[in-house]
Structure 1
């Protein structure tokens, strides 16, 4: 009998202590009107949640049982949170269950569109195909209701208007430079055709903008840092030794203008043509900044008044001015206040 008791006590005290499951708790959370790209087991989109006293949103890597999410609405929910016993290695240890929707509020689409303007959006998907080279991008000018950017090989621009969650593009056009890569040219044509004179439902989801038609995402763009993205940070070595022909001044595309520049890195000088006259001057670079000295030109009068006016406007832009610049996709871009002021295309000498 004593032996049996001893074995019983030994077994009791030697058995591993089991962790008790924590009781469920009820919490009030907010759910944001848009999801954000995140990475769990694989790349995915996460609901954005925060508590009543939280300042920042955080990713929710699981679903809320019983909750039907609609983009464009911000929710206030009461949820029950329970611990999952022995969760899978790649799964959440918490289970969220909806108990009540306390508030559902439509977030103004104009606020969403405001998050798009003034930023550089790079195409990452067209139809069902991923686009990874960053050659197609656009920016929105809210004041002028204009878009501008690159369609792959050529510069592009157009107008846009918005109503509710719809956006309509109009008169989208580009320069007509022929590029040697046929695949780039074909994709450029498809992109312009998709965008031109079309209306889409648009969705802003963190760093992504989706243009949707008939429930299907046709074009998807990702936000790129204009000051630190992969298409920025030119240098005098990449600028020098090449001939740069003017293709855009302010928001107007230019073709066969006769305006071009070349840069001499050793002498820190530039020379070229203003359309009618020969021009030259000095320049310096520092990081992604380029500074031009006063440009000088010959004084030949040309019979075409438009050519003379454009030459004068170009000389005024580059004289005694500093710009942020980059060299990307065979273009030299000069920026002021985040907008392209002058764009050149690389040209054979």
Structure 2
């Protein structure tokens, strides 16, 4: 989606099949006044950039040579974009070099509003639902966690994983884009309660109050959801060995990409298969054959840098999507789960890749 992916893609795949370095490209870009959390080889903060005709910002996982960034200013830059020959495994295949600063404007960044101390007691903790409406709940298995850096929440709806965005201001919290995985559970009551919970929080604004170890969400003066603070599981648990039976199932199937970021795909032509003995994956990126290594724990998977053949396809959109997919998985760690007939990869509680199951 980002223009730099398109540039990287075109220069990589449309180049003649000789050891010839592609010519540098000149591009005008905007640089946002604030960095945003991102995950490359490790969690970090990335510059946010977009092209002149782009409507959304994207993370730049490298620096702009010759550019001195000062937070609080929005920049319009002319840059030279050069394809890097034989980049290191953890390095970018594209080099950005500043040609000229076309514009530099001071931007007033939004101040944190509301009771920061109160919200600090909410964010980063696990909150289990103990009451919904007038119904007391025991071991509902519905819980939420809030990430203050990304303004996202994730958790469980009782059966499926749930996730979305939020904004906290003063004594109010607004939920948006609440979504869930699509696993069907055998207990119909659990599914009904999950559906009611998602409907309750989806695109709603509540007053919130923290009392001791209780978080109350109110609407029209009435408490509609009550959560209790719960100790998080020991993070070391994430390092335990993967479920052998689950991975035997994963390895027996072909996994087709049906969602990439916010885009739902039909017949994407992107798929992976996993070899649990060799800890390798292979598949198609839409145009080229791709392969690499992986390591899995109980609920996390780490991909090595993915490699691909260098066939040039006529459809630029397919090539752009292939480049986006390779960049998304290469050298990254994600939380994963298998829900019904989907394999889902998560980052900060949000599904970034969803695969649909297919028999080999």
Structure 2 length-normalised TM: 0.50
**2:238 and 2:297 in contact (8 A); partners too:** no
Partner Cα separation in structure 1 for residue 128 and residue 271 of structure 2: 28
Q: Name the residue aligned to 1:268.
A: 279
Q: Please tell me whether residue 216 in structure 1 is matched to residue 232 in structure 2.
A: no
Q: C-alpha offsets along residues 61-110 of structure 1, whole Å, 9 cap, x if unaligned?
A: xxxxxxxxxxxxxxxxxxxxxxxxxxxxxxxxxxxxxxxxxxxxxxx732
Of 142, 150, 161 in structure 1, the residue corresponding to residue 148 of structure 2 is 142
Q: Name the residue aligned to 1:132.
A: 139
Partner Cα separation in structure 2 for residue 207 and residue 247 of structure 1: 40
**Alpha-carbon shift at residue 298 of structure 1 (Å):** 4.1
Distance 1:197 1:282, change over 3 A: closer
Partner Cα separation in structure 1 for residue 306 and residue 122 of structure 2: 37
**Alpha-carbon shift at residue 222 of structure 1 (Å):** 4.2
Q: Name the residue aligned to 1:11.
A: none
Q: C-alpha offsets along residues 152-196 of structure 1, whole Å, 9 cap, x if unaligned?
A: 5666544433332222223x3426847364445433321221012
Q: Name the residue aligned to 1:179.
A: 184
Of 244, 247, 263 in structure 2, the residue corresponding to residue 239 of structure 1 is 247
Partner Cα separation in structure 2 for residue 276 and residue 156 of structure 1: 33
Q: SS of the residue aligned with 1:261? A: strand
Q: Mark the structure with the bigger radius of gyration.
A: 1
Distance 1:188 1:260, change over 3 A: farther
Partner Cα separation in structure 2 for residue 292 and residue 231 of structure 1: 16
Q: C-alpha offsets along residues 314-336 of structure 1, whole Å, 9 cap, x if unaligned?
A: 21232234x26454756766577
Structure 1 length-normalised TM: 0.52
CA RMSD of aligned residues (A): 4.1
State the structure with bigger RCO (CA 8 A, min sep 6), 1 or 2.
2
Structure 1 spans left out of the alignment, 5+ residues? 1-107
**2:152 and 2:349 in contact (8 A); partners too:** no
Q: SS of the residue aligned with 1:179? A: coil
Of 123, 128, 135 in structure 2, the residue corresponding to residue 117 of structure 1 is 123
Q: Name the residue aligned to 1:202.
A: 208
**2:140 and 2:158 in contact (8 A); partners too:** no
Structure 2 spans left out of the alignment, 5+ residues? 1-113
Partner Cα separation in structure 1 for residue 164 and residue 218 of structure 2: 19
Q: Name the residue aligned to 2:171.
A: 165
Partner Cα separation in structure 2 for residue 231 and residue 142 of structure 1: 22
**2:270 and 2:285 in contact (8 A); partners too:** yes
